Amino acid sequence: MSGLDVAVRILDPRLPGWGFPRWGSALAAGLDLHACLDAPLVLEPLGPPTLIPAGFALAIRDPDWCAMVYPRSGLGHREGLVLGNAVGVIDADYEGPLMISAWNRNPPGRAPLTVEPGERIAQLVFTRIVRPALRVVEAFPVPEAGARGAGGFGSTGRG
């Protein structure tokens, strides 16, 4: 039990018939998000991202929580359907309609992807957030031996 109480306002009356709201299994982290479209949507390979309504709004209202929109693993891996913004962040104070930025990452020459009305195309994960106290400094203290410095990407080697 999370202790988080989130109000959900259904904006598309078809959602309950499609099974919303539900998680795909008892231990699934992500709440299934459906494409609330009136007709099939064709996404061309490497075309522009398209905003697809999720058909609801929510009110998190707890500053210790946010929701994150992720692609569905199988659709992304097998079909190339990913999010145009990689991950969508839903802040606790946002209460407008949820939109899914859908993008076909497949290279030109592959078949377009068709998103059907009601299709589960993304997932919503609720997570706690932390807002640390940030302290501006001129320089960092001298690190201990073996501590990582400014080596950057891959500086600790491979494997």
What are the chain's domains? 7-128 (2.70.40.10)
Q: Note the helical H segments in 57-103.
A: 73-74
pLDDT at 1: 47
pLDDT at 128: 96
User: β-pairing, 81-83 with 7-10?
Assistant: unpaired
Q: How far apart are CA 56 and CA 21, in angstroms?
A: 10
pLDDT band at residue 146, thresholds of 50, 70 and 90? low
Higher-pLDDT residue of 146, 27 = 27
Per-residue model confidence as pLDDT tens digits over 98-144? 999 999 999 999 989 999 999 999 999 999 999 999 999 999 888 77
The four Cα atoms 28, 29, 35, 41 give a dihedral, to 10 degrees, of: -90
Q: Percent of the chain, pLDDT > 70?
A: 89
pLDDT at 153: 65
Per-residue model confidence as pLDDT tens digits over 5-18? 999 999 999 999 99
